[in-house]
Amino acid sequence: MPVSNTLIADLTWYDFAEKVKANPIVFLPIGSVEQHGPHLPLSTDILLPQAIAAEVAERVGGLVAPPVAYGYKSQPKSGGGNHFPGTLSLDAGVLIGLVRNVVNELVRHGVRRIVLFDGHMENQWFLVEAADLALRDQAMLGRSDVKIIKLGYWEFITKTTEKVLFPDGFPSWELEHAAVMETSVMLHIRPDLVRSELIPDGPAADFPPYDIYPFDTRPIPPTGVLSSAGSASAEKGAAVLAQVVPDIADALIKAFDAPTA
């Protein structure tokens, strides 16, 4: 297997030190170990942001740090729930502390432009807190030149690409857990890990507009998939990457070059 020039884990420390001199954008993929139905692996939320970040990094001359593999607790309305076997989750404080620590370590070694590249919807607010605390840490050390961008790759999917994915109507990103988009992209990047014969094609979950704790798991489909994945295809997955990769690259170049108010 060839060594990647964008994956930090593949570099020697000599390579890393030299590349950091150019002030590259450094991507930190953050995912989860979470059930994704009978057809996708538990690592789906790690593999997708890692693969997309690597393609974006190639376009912007960036680097991709080893991923944070574990994420915040799966929520019933967006991930099926933390009760599914194999879903291994972190408490919020642990995730915040871990990401904050990694960001501070990257900055300590000279990195100044960091992307928290999220692959798990439930992580997002805790990544905001990690970024805020890391920037506070750096301000206390007298560093004011650090910029952090947080994004979820799915948020870059345009209405045009949505129509390719969902010609019969878009359910919602919450209900899309392990359904058409994620299954399609996995069929494109890692078809060897998709059990195509087990792709579910049932009705979407129907949740009430409130939450009860302990959560009532009855509305959750027994597969853990919140809407049908039956129309997924590798071609749709390729269409997603063809659109989001250049769009994310363009957005990051613009955002990092823009002055901070």
**Of 34, 39, 176, 188, catalytic:** 34
18 is a catalytic site residue: no
120 is a catalytic site residue: yes
**Of 39, 45, 176, 188, catalytic:** 45
Q: Where are the beta strands (DSSP E) in the chain?
A: 25-30, 63-64, 71-72, 89-90, 113-118, 147-152
168 is a catalytic site residue: no
Compute CA distances 241 → 149, 153, 213, whole Å: 20, 10, 38
Give the orientation angle of helix 180-189 with respect to helix 44-60, to 10 degrees: 60
177 is a catalytic site residue: yes
**Of 39, 122, 176, 188, catalytic:** 122
182 is a catalytic site residue: yes
122 is a catalytic site residue: yes
**Of 39, 120, 176, 188, catalytic:** 120
Residues 6+ apart with CB under 8 A from 130: 95, 96, 97, 98, 99, 100, 103, 116
137 is a catalytic site residue: no
The Cα–Cα gap between 253 and 249 comes to: 6
- For residue 214, say if its preceding peptide bond is cis, omega within 30 degrees of 0: yes
Other Cβ atoms closer than 10 A to 28: 27
**Of 39, 118, 176, 177, catalytic:** 177
**Of 118, 176, 182, 188, catalytic:** 182
Q: Which residues are catalytic?
A: 34, 36, 45, 120, 122, 177, 182
